[in-house]
A and B are shown apart, each in its own frame.
Chain A
Amino acid sequence: MDYNKIRALLELYWEGETSLEEEEMLRHFFVTHTAALPEDLREAAPLFRYFQAEKEQELPAWEIPRVAPLPGSRPWQHWMKYAAALLMMAGAGYSVQQYIVRHNELSAAAWQQDTYQDPEKAYQEAQKALELLSRNLNKGTEQMEKLAYFNEATDKIKRN
């Protein structure tokens, strides 16, 4: 290639005014040119050879990991959520059931606690309870008798 053309392109290159094609031409020239270069072109040669070496340089091998399918695309992928919810519901149900069974057992035990094994003592306790009931009932009857007198008096007044 004509050195003058390279000089002109280089000036544009240093100014940042070259196109990608022109830069490719310069790189190709400096990489492939084996004969001695004119002095004014020598400064650019290592740079373009460096760019070429960088382009060709193999980077460390890296097995790029496959991008895992991201959640949200298929409903069945949420199975763990559903399983957890189901487990929680089963747990809650079991707890409630256990509570009811235990509660019933405790109620039955409490009911059985006041029974008496000795019939004599049971009789005495029952008698005491009935006496208490009787006393209270009599109190009520006395009040009712007073009321009866009052009604009788009212009837007499009405007749007269």
Chain B
Amino acid sequence: MSLELFHSQVVPIRPKLYRFAFRLLNNEEDAKDIIQDALLKVWHQQDRMAELQNLEAWCMRIVRNLALDRLKSKKYRSTEMLDRAGEMEAAHQPDPHLAAEQQDVMGRVHRIINALPEKYRTIIQLRDVDGFSYQQIADILELNMSEVKINLHRARKAVREQLQNIQVYGLQ
């Protein structure tokens, strides 16, 4: 891979990689570190470029693997994750009571999603927030399409059950 190719194809997706790392780690500094390491790794594995069909998915996969390594190595316990739950901004709402209520609901949804196993959480993130196709998710997570759909279905089902608990019993 030439330097020009690196600049034209890898550098422009850095913000997307950063967002992905940030959401996995919930820590700004660690996300920055991971991106630097990931770019270095991409550069060192430039020989593989020719075989790659989807460069973006490959970069995302590297970021995810590095983030998971970091989570394991540090026995990660993110306090920011809990902090952010309270910061979720509700839609503009003139009524302060309603705004507070909406913010509370956002915080609950955030906690539900963050309590999911990492694979489910990542699939929901990639599909419902980032808008990746099933094929792209399969490439990023090194799964086949049917596994992606099954995992997405299970993840959404788990979220739905928790949402129903909130709805019916006001739990969480």
Residues of A within 8 A of B (CB): 13-17, 20, 23-24, 31, 42-44, 46-47, 49-55, 57, 59-60, 62, 64, 67, 69-70, 73
Task: Specify which chain A residues have a CB less than 8 angstroms from the CB of B32 in the assembled complex.
Answer: 62
Contact partner, A55, options B102, B127, B129, B167, Cβ 8 Å: B129
Once bound together, how far apart are the Cα atoms of A60 and B22, in whole Å?
Answer: 9
Task: Specify which chain A residues have a CB less than 8 angstroms from the CB of B106 in the assembled complex.
Answer: 46, 49-50, 53
Task: Confirm or deny: B50 has a beta carbon within 8 angstroms of a beta carbon on chain A.
Answer: no
The answer to whether A20 and B133 have CB atoms under 8 Å apart is yes
The answer to whether B152 and A16 have CB atoms under 8 Å apart is yes
Task: Specify which chain B residues have a CB less than 8 angstroms from the CB of A51 in the assembled complex.
Answer: 128-129
- Nearest Cβ distance between residue A52 and chain B, in whole angstroms? 8
Once bound together, how far apart are the Cα atoms of A68 and B32, in whole Å?
Answer: 16
The answer to whether A20 and B131 have CB atoms under 8 Å apart is yes
Question: Provided the pairs A42-B167, A46-B163 are in contact, do residues A16 and B156 lie with their beta carbons within 8 angstroms?
Answer: yes
Taking chain A's interface residues, is the majority helix, strand, or loop, or is none over half, making it mixed?
helix
Q: What 0/1 pattern do residues 10 to 38 of B give for CB contact below 8 A with A?
A: 01001100110010000010001000000
Q: What 0/1 pattern do residues 132 to 172 of B give for CB contact below 8 A with A?
A: 01000000000000000110110011011001101100000
Residues of B within 8 A of A (CB): 3, 6-7, 11, 14-15, 18-19, 22, 28, 32, 39, 43, 88-91, 102, 105-106, 108-110, 113, 127-129, 131, 133, 149-150, 152-153, 156-157, 159-160, 163-164, 166-167
Contact partner, B157, options A14, A31, A50, Cβ 8 Å: A14
- Nearest Cβ distance between residue A20 and chain B, in whole angstroms? 6
Once bound together, how far apart are the Cα atoms of A62 and B18, in whole Å?
Answer: 9
Once bound together, how far apart are the Cα atoms of A23 and B91, in whole Å?
Answer: 19
Contact partner, A31, options B39, B91, B159, Cβ 8 Å: B91
Residue among B3, B128, B150, B152 with the highest chain A CB neighbour number at 10 A: B128
Taking chain B's interface residues, is the majority helix, strand, or loop, or is none over half, making it mixed?
helix
Closest chain A residue, CB of each to CB of B15: A64
Task: Specify which chain A residues have a CB less than 8 angstroms from the CB of B129 in the assembled complex.
Answer: 51, 54-55
Residue among A60, A69, A73 with the highest chain B CB neighbour number at 10 A: A60
The answer to whether B156 and A67 have CB atoms under 8 Å apart is no
Task: Specify which chain B residues have a CB less than 8 angstroms from the CB of A55 in the assembled complex.
Answer: 129
Task: Specify which chain A residues have a CB less than 8 angstroms from the CB of B131 in the assembled complex.
Answer: 20, 24
The answer to whether B108 and A46 have CB atoms under 8 Å apart is yes
Once bound together, how far apart are the Cα atoms of A88 and B15, in whole Å?
Answer: 46
Task: Specify which chain A residues have a CB less than 8 angstroms from the CB of B88 in the assembled complex.
Answer: 50, 53, 57
